[in-house]
Structure 1
Amino acid sequence: MDPRSEVVLRQQAFLSGSILLVNAPCDELNSELTGTVKPHFWTWNFNELQYFEAQQSPVHFGTDLPEVSFEQAIVFVPKSKELLNYVLHQLVSRMAVGSSIFLVGEKKGGVERAAKQLQPFGKSLKLDSARHCQMWQLVTEKTVTAKPLADWAQHYTVQTPKGELQISALPGVFSQNRLDVGTAVLLPYLSEVTSGKIADFGCGAGVISAYLAKLNPKNRIFALDVDAFALASTKMTFEKNNLLPEQLEIKAVRGIEDAPLFLHAIVSNPPFHQGIHTDYNASENLCKTSRRHLKSDGELWIVANRFLNYPLLIEQSFGQCTTKADQQGFKVLFASTQKKS
């Protein structure tokens, strides 16, 4: 069991009634909670949704709070400070004054920093410190009015060969404040991507999706991500740039296995973080198995840290891998399913 869940179980005496568990780990916590507790889960990670559904746990996936009523909440600290602010505001807007919100997280995950974010809403108290984790209790002393999701987005401008793009990025989304180096290295090569049905795997705030749509109004973009906030950001970015809504299809995915078939191209600045932990599974699977989602003359375009072994994985699947660029610590990699004559 996740050590954070173990700490929650140590403090079960504080828990009662209907409880919303936010960003909870995928473990046996639900089955270990006592009968007086009625848990409901809220996640924005599509893989976690699959887990909780398989456990037959009541679960809601999305950027918004579930419609269910709850008396208490347990927040497992997310990596992003801004995302925690959003979550706390949402919870306090729905809960009666005097309600308890519990915060639990790993010390290396910044739980002590996160506990300070409770202060605007009431008195907080450290309940436990064990398993390299801490658990805090906030008793709310006020209520707040929930702000619309769009108000939480940060905006920045990206210069492209086709003019400016306006980017909207919600809390917790990769590269929320500025264009990341990897995507900046990839952008000049996107004009070489074959036109048609294109997947942007790990779409984030939608920089790649929006630019591909801008390059050719006939391109149909499938924006794929595990994170509900990323998908919502991509939609906002399209709207902000007045791109045709029919060009975009947004889809929550577990990994590349959920991508459409018969794509003309897959383009990706692949993800490698799962919460505070590094996880290369999704990007390695992309290199190994994306071929089956491409047409017979389909293309794979990836930008990745130069130290990663992606060229070898792509070569094993496609028979070849071309390095289009190697700069600022990143490589732009290209492969095609086209058989060489």
Structure 2
Amino acid sequence: MTDTVLETLMLPLDEGMLGLSDGDKALFLRARMGRELRTIPAAVLTCEQSFAPDRDALDQAGYKVVAETDETGFSLVLALPTRQRQESRALLARAVKKAAAGGIVLACAPNTEGAKTAEADLDALAGLTGKLSKNKCRVFWATVSPGTINTALLDEWLQLDAPREILEGAYFSRPGIFAWDRIDAASKLLTDNLPETLAGKGADLGCGFAYLARTVLERAPGVAAMDLYEAEKRALDLAEQNLAAFKGKKVLNGIWSDVTKGIEGPYDFIVSNPPFHQTGKADRSDVGQAFIRTAAGGLRSGGTFYMVANRHLPYEATLNDVFGVVEMIADEGGYKVIRAIKRKGK
């Protein structure tokens, strides 16, 4: 299947408008795997990706992939701006910062996900030297030189997605992660319906900045340990900060992984607000269904799974397939909270 964003990103290289010379090195920020990436030799490319599924795909394809690189001086820096404006601007600023003098920053985004805005942002930051449109996407680039970089804007934008205190200092968060500046209504409904009798070893699947996990630890004194699973390392690092008060009091373990590939265990209980988007805006019920199956596999016999989801998402069939008892314990504000108990002897 063609990745139209990657295809469009590579267009200036495929058509010979841009290129790499011997000794050049390239960096791909927010990289993701696709056959279109083969335009750039793997030997010269460093991929930066903090999202575990994309990290794993790149690694399996033989690319050098890191969560974050300190290296600079790249002849070509590719970037995929995100829909979140602050994160996107910070990404473009990092791309300019990572490029060598005379190097190229090359970016692409779908028209429906802020391509025109991202193009204008790179122009304001470093001055565009080219652009193309195809596949309902825009690809645009800038040649990095001291004379064209807006240094004041560069310094400002580099800090736009930095970790910061939110909710009057209650948590640390940063733009770009899920519900970054608030308590998500679905997660709040789930915590409102969790019993204070939770005990033993638990897990939070897709922990975000650790609102769920911290609430469990604050309200359920019988919980001795929790594993926090999160695909986005930027969120997992924040979770560690937000659980600092429990360090040395509870056994806590942050795990940067793709939950759909399985978890450790066995656990006495699992809580989760599964994601229903990956890239793009379309609902992805398959991701939540994979979380459900993973939870069932990670629980001890008789263990309990608590999850919240948008009311319309079709999870009941999967829940009934892998759990012995399934019941909806809350239905409010467009969300449903479900408690499921693993069959004895399974």
Q: Same fold (TM over 0.5)?
A: yes
| Partner SS for 1:190 | coil
The answer to whether the aligner puts 1:58 opposite 2:68 as a matched pair is no
Q: Identify which range, 149-158 or 13-22, moves more after superposition.
A: 149-158
The answer to whether the aligner puts 1:237 opposite 2:242 as a matched pair is yes
| Partner SS for 2:26 | strand
The CA distance in 1 between the partners of 2:160 and 2:114, in whole Å, is 26
- The superposition leaves residues 205-224 of structure 1 with CA deviations (integer Å, 9 ceiling, x where unpaired) of 21001112222464312111
1:134 equivalent in structure 2: 138
Cα shift at 1:103: 1.2
The CA distance in 2 between the partners of 1:129 and 1:187, in whole Å, is 46
Q: Which one-letter code corresponds to 2:52 in the other structure?
A: F
Cα shift at 1:201: 0.6
Cα shift at 1:234: 1.1
CA contact (8 A) 2:208 2:235 kept: yes
Q: What RMSD, in angstroms, separates the aligned Cα atoms of the two structures?
A: 2.7
Cα shift at 1:74: 0.9
2:35 equivalent in structure 1: 28
Q: Identify which range, 187-196 or 199-208, moves more after superposition.
A: 187-196
Q: Identify which range, 324-333 or 230-239, moves more after superposition.
A: 230-239
The CA distance in 1 between the partners of 2:50 and 2:108, in whole Å, is 18
Cα shift at 1:312: 2.7
CA contact (8 A) 2:9 2:106 kept: no
Q: 2:219 is matched with which residue: 203, 215, 218?
A: 215
The CA distance in 1 between the partners of 2:65 and 2:131, in whole Å, is 26
1:228 equivalent in structure 2: 233
CA contact (8 A) 2:196 2:219 kept: no
State how many pairs are aligned: 329
TM-score by length of 1: 0.87
1:5 equivalent in structure 2: 6
The CA distance in 1 between the partners of 2:343 and 2:322, in whole Å, is 12
CA contact (8 A) 1:175 1:205 kept: no
The CA distance in 1 between the partners of 2:254 and 2:30, in whole Å, is 22
The CA distance in 2 between the partners of 1:177 and 1:307, in whole Å, is 25
CA contact (8 A) 1:93 1:146 kept: no
The CA distance in 2 between the partners of 1:243 and 1:147, in whole Å, is 34
Once the two structures are superposed, the pairs formed by residues 158-307 of structure 1 within 5 Å of their partners are 166-192=170-196, 194-216=198-220, 218-239=223-244, 242-244=245-247, 247-278=251-282, 279-307=284-312
| Partner SS for 2:193 | helix
Q: Per the alignment, do residues 145 and 65 of structure 1 end up closer, same or farther by CA in structure 2, a change over 3 Å counting?
A: farther
Q: Per the alignment, do residues 324 and 27 of structure 1 end up closer, same or farther by CA in structure 2, a change over 3 Å counting?
A: same
2:330 equivalent in structure 1: 325
Cα shift at 1:339: 4.0
CA contact (8 A) 2:230 2:255 kept: yes
Q: Which one-letter code corresponds to 1:3 in the other structure?
A: T
The CA distance in 2 between the partners of 1:116 and 1:198, in whole Å, is 46
The CA distance in 1 between the partners of 2:117 and 2:158, in whole Å, is 26
